[in-house]
Structure 1
Amino acid sequence: MSTCERCGATFHCAMADPGPDGQADTTPCWCTALPPAVPVPGKGAAVGCWCPACLRAHIAAQAARATPSG
Structure 2
Amino acid sequence: MSICPRCKTLFTCAMADCTNQPCWCAALPPVDSALLSTDQSASEAGSQENQQASCFCPTCLPLWKAEQSAKKTPSS
Q: What TM-score results when the alignment is normalised by the length of structure 1? A: 0.63
Deviations 1:8-54, CA, capped at 9 Å, x for gaps = 0011110122xxxxxx522221222333044176xxxx732321222
Q: CA RMSD in A?
A: 2.3
Percent identity between the two aligned chains:
48
1:1-70 paired onto structure 2 within 5 Å? 1-17=1-17, 24-34=18-28, 35-39=30-34, 47-48=52-53, 49-70=55-76
- What's the TM-score, normalizing by structure 2? 0.59
Three-state SS of the structure 2 residue aligned to 1:56 is helix
Aligned length: 60
Unaligned regions of 5+ residues in structure 2, if any?
38-50
Bigger helix fraction: 2
